[in-house]
C-alpha cells in the first residue's frame, strides 16, 4: 500500500487530486442501532459502544420524540456528527427512525416519509462530498411478534413500490430492525424478489429460521441480556451497491458488533468474550445500552481505478514478527488486514502492563508497518526508561486477536 503524508490545510487541493488519480475510492461505514426507546437507554453506555464502531452514517430506531434526537446528538455522539430532524419522530408510531452523519464527509440532501401501514419507512438521501456518488438509505422498524407477519408484508410492499421506481444503477439500502423471524417469511421474500426492479440483497445470505436457532447463532442481534438468540437487525443493499462501480459494499465487512458466536442464549457480557478480551466494560455497555446489538458494514464511494502499483489485498489477518529482533532502540511491526477493521496495536511488558498504543483507529484492508521506539520521540510510549527484556505486542482487528513477543536488548 502506498501511503502519502501531507499537511491538509496547505495542500488540500493536491490531496483531493491525488485521491482521485491513485485511490479513486473513499470508505464510508454505515451502522444501524435499535436504542430501546431512547432516552430510556443509557447515554454513557451508548457512547462507549458507538466510539468503538465509529460510523460515518448511523441509522437509529426507537427514538422517543424529536427532542431525544438532539439529546442523542449532544450526549452520545461526538461534535463531528449532525442529525436529521425534519421527519416527525415519535416512538410507537413507527416514525422513530433518525439518521446521524459526519458532515465533513457526507452531504445530507433531505428526507422523505414513505407512508405505510402500520409503520412507515424513513428515506434519507446523501451525496459524498468528494466522489459525488448518491446513496439513499431507508430506515425500517417493522412490527414485532410472529403474529405480525401480515403487517410486515403490507409495509414491505409499500417500500418495494417506492424502490421499483429506481433505475438498476441506483445506490440504495434499507437498514434497521426488521423483526423478521425466518428467511421464508413473505416480507423478507418480497424484499429479495428479483422479478421486478427495486429488490434488495442480503449480504450474508442467511437462510432458515432466525428465531432461537443455535445453528445460526453468529447472525443473531437480539437480546443482549435475555440471551442472544434471534436475527432482527440487518442491512440489505441494492443490486448496484452489490456490484462494482460507484458505491460498493466492501466484501466481508458486515459485522454484528458484540456477537462472537459464543453467547447464544446468554448475556453478551458473560465471560469469555473474544470481542472484548482486553476491555470487558464494552460487553457490559452493550448489555446496558439496548436489547439489540448494532450492525454495520463498510462501503466504498467512487469508481475503482486500475493503478498498476496497487498491491493485492491480503487474504487473511496476520501479525508479523517484529524486525529487527532483538532490537535497540527501535523495531518495526508489520500486520495484514484482509478486511476493513477497527485496529488496535499495543505493547505490553511481562506483567501485562500496557507500554504503548501504536495504533488505535479504523483502517482499510491492506498491509501496514508500525514503528515501536524506546526513544523519547517514540509515539505514545508510556515509559521511556524501559529495561532490557521480553515484551509482547498484540494486534486486535475486530474479532481477530494475535500476540507475539519481542526482545529489547540494550
Tell me how far apart the alpha carbons of residues 82 and 74 are, in angstroms, rounded to a whole number.
9
Percentage of the chain surpassing pLDDT 70?
Answer: 86
Indicate the pLDDT class of residue 381, thresholds 50, 70 and 90: low
Helix (H, G, I), strand (E, B) or coil at 144: coil
Within-domain flag for 3: no
Task: Give yes or no: residues 394 and 332 share one domain.
Answer: yes
Given a cut of 60, whether residue 306 has pLDDT beyond it is: no
**Structural contact between residues 322 and 297, judged by C-beta atoms closer than 8 angstroms:** no
* Residue 335 confidence (pLDDT) above 70: yes
Residue 2 lies in a domain: no
Close Cβ partners of 146 (under 8 Å, ≥ 6 residues apart) = 181, 211
Which of 132-141, 307-316, 385-394 is predicted with the least confidence, judged by mean pLDDT? 307-316
Mean local confidence (pLDDT), 237-263? 90
Can you give the residue range of the structural domain that contains 325?
Answer: 318-408
Asked if the model's pLDDT at residue 384 lies above 70, the reply is: no
Residue 311 lies inside a defined structural domain of this protein: no
pTM greater than 0.85 (yes/no): no
- Judgement on whether residues 276 and 342 belong to the same structural domain of the protein: no
Tell whether 190 and 269 lie within a shared domain: yes
Please check the confidence at residue 376 and state whether its pLDDT lies above 80. no
184 pLDDT exceeds 90?
A: yes
The answer to whether the beta carbons of residues 188 and 231 sit under 8 Å apart is: no
Locate cell 486477536: which residue?
401
One domain, residues 175 and 230:
yes
Question: In this structure, are 288 and 355 located in the same domain?
Answer: no
Specify the pLDDT at position 203.
94
Last residue of a domain, one of 301, 326, 344: 301
Domain match, 198 and 294 both: yes
**Number of structural domains found in the chain:** 2
- Of the listed ranges 197-211, 296-310, 322-336, the one predicted with least confidence: 296-310
- State the average pLDDT over residues 261-279: 77
Q: What is the mean pLDDT of the segment spanning 147-159?
A: 96
- Residues found in the chain: 410
CATH of the domain at 349: 2.60.40.1930
How confident is the model over 15-72, as pLDDT tens digits? 333 333 333 467 899 999 999 989 876 899 999 999 989 999 999 999 888 788 999 9
CATH of the domain at 237: 3.60.10.10
The enclosing H or E element of 394 equals: strand 389-397
Amino acid at each position: 500500500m502506498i501511503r502519502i503524508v501531507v499537511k491538509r490545510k496547505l495542500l488540500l487541493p493536491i490531496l483531493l487530486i491525488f485521491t482521485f488519480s491513485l485511490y479513486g475510492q473513499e470508505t464510508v461505514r454505515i451502522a444501524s442501532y435499535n436504542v430501546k426507546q431512547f432516552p430510556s437507554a443509557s447515554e454513557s453506555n451508548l457512547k462507549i459502544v458507538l466510539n468503538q464502531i465509529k460510523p460515518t452514517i448511523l441509522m437509529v430506531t426507537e427514538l422517543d420524540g424529536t427532542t431525544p434526537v438532539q439529546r442523542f446528538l449532544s450526549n452520545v455522539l461526538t461534535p463531528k456528527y449532525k442529525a436529521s430532524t425534519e421527519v416527525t419522530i415519535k416512538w410507537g408510531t413507527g416514525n422513530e427512525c433518525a439518521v446521524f452523519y459526519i458532515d465533513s464527509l457526507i452531504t445530507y440532501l433531505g428526507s422523505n416519509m414513505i407512508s405505510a401501514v402500520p409503520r412507515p419507512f424513513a428515506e434519507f438521501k446523501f451525496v459524498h462530498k468528494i466522489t459525488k456518488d448518491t446513496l439513499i438509505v431507508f430506515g425500517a422498524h417493522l412490527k414485532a411478534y410472529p403474529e405480525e407477519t401480515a403487517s410486515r408484508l403490507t409495509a414491505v410492499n409499500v417500500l418495494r413500490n417506492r424502490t421499483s421506481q429506481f433505475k438498476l444503477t441506483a445506490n440504495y439500502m434499507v437498514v434497521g430492525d426488521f423483526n423478521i423471524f425466518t428467511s421464508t417469511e413473505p416480507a423478507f421474500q418480497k424484499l429479495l424478489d428479483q422479478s421486478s426492479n427495486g429488490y434488495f440483497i442480503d449480504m450474508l445470505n442467511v437462510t432458515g429460521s432466525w428465531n432461537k436457532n443455535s445453528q445460526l447463532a453468529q447472525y443473531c442481534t437480539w437480546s443482549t441480556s435475555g440471551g442472544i438468540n434471534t436475527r432482527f437487525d440487518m442491512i440489505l443493499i441494492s443490486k448496484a451497491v452489490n456490484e462494482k462501480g460507484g458505491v460498493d459494499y466492501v466484501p466481508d465487512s458486515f459485522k454484528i458488533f458484540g456477537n462472537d458466536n459464543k453467547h447464544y442464549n446468554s448475556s453478551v457480557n458473560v465471560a469469555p468474550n473474544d470481542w472484548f478480551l482486553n476491555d470487558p466494560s464494552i460487553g457490559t455497555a452493550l448489555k446496558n445500552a439496548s436489547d439489540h446489538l448494532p450492525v454495520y458494514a463498510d462501503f466504498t464511494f467512487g469508481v475503482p481505478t486500475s493503478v498498476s502499483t496497487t498491491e493485492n489485498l491480503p487474504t487473511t489477518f496476520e501479525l508479523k514478527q517484529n524486525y529487527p529482533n532483538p532490537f535497540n532502540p527501535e523495531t518495526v511491526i508489520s500486520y495484514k488486514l484482509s478486511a476493513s477493521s477497527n485496529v488496535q496495536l499495543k505493547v505490553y511488558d511481562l506483567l501485562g502492563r500496557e507500554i504503548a498504543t501504536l495504533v488505535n483507529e479504523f483502517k482499510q484492508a491492506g498491509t501496514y508497518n508500525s514503528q515501536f521506539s524506546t526513544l523519547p520521540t517514540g509515539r505514545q510510549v508510556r515509559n521511556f526508561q524501559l529495561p532490557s527484556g521480553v515484551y509482547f505486542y498484540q494486534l486486535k482487528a475486530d474479532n481477530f486477536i494475535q500476540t507475539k513477543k519481542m526482545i529489547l536488548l540494550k
